[in-house]
Amino acid sequence: MAQSRTLSIIKPDATRRNLTGAINSMLEESGLRIVAQKRIRLTREQAEAFYAVHRARPFFKDLVNFMISGPVVVQVLEGENAVERNRTVMGATDPAKAERNTIRARFAESIEANSVHGSDSPENAVSEIGFFFTPAEIVG
Ligand code: ADP
Ligand code: MG
């Protein structure tokens, strides 16, 4: 079976509540393998660049402020259909609409503070992984 990769971020609302391990368990139980991981603080410039696609949205400034409000855990996940598999275990952006037993249904505080990020396409996964990791940091 073809393995692929996706970028995941455990967001500040989740690191603040000490949920890194609980979220990692859900990722692993979904069949994903964490092949790279680091806990960092995003700079404002990094957060703006990472979410540049949303620059024109009304929530952009708040989103950037939220993403730099505490540590995040950036990770590369590997598995079959990694992007889609991760989006499934994450649940919908709005936790009120997320399926039961998804990460966001269980842990998200709001549509903004929704605990995790996941790449939305294989193409974006490649560029988002490259945003945070060198090839040598990813150990499959
Ligand atoms: P997803 O993270 O599910 O891919 P988007 O790419 O649409 O969702 O949005 C990026 C992030 O911006 C979301 O995860 C969330 O933190 C924030 N966000 C999205 N929509 C809203 C909104 N209507 N109000 C506040 N924040 C939002
Ligand atoms: Mg998105």
Q: Does ligand 1 come within 6 angstroms of the Cβ of 120? A: yes
Surface-to-core class of residue 73, CB atoms within 10 Å of its CB (0-12 exposed, 13-18 middle, 19+ buried): buried
Residues (pLDDT < 70) of the chain are 1
Residue nearest to atom 15 of ligand 1 (CA): 112
Top mutation candidate among 112, 121, 128 for ligand 1, by most atoms within 8 Å of CB: 112
Whole-structure pTM over 0.85, yes or no?
A: yes
Cα separation of 140 and 99, whole Å?
A: 30
Q: Does ligand 1 come within 6 angstroms of the Cβ of 111? A: yes
Residue nearest to atom 1 of ligand 1 (CA): 93
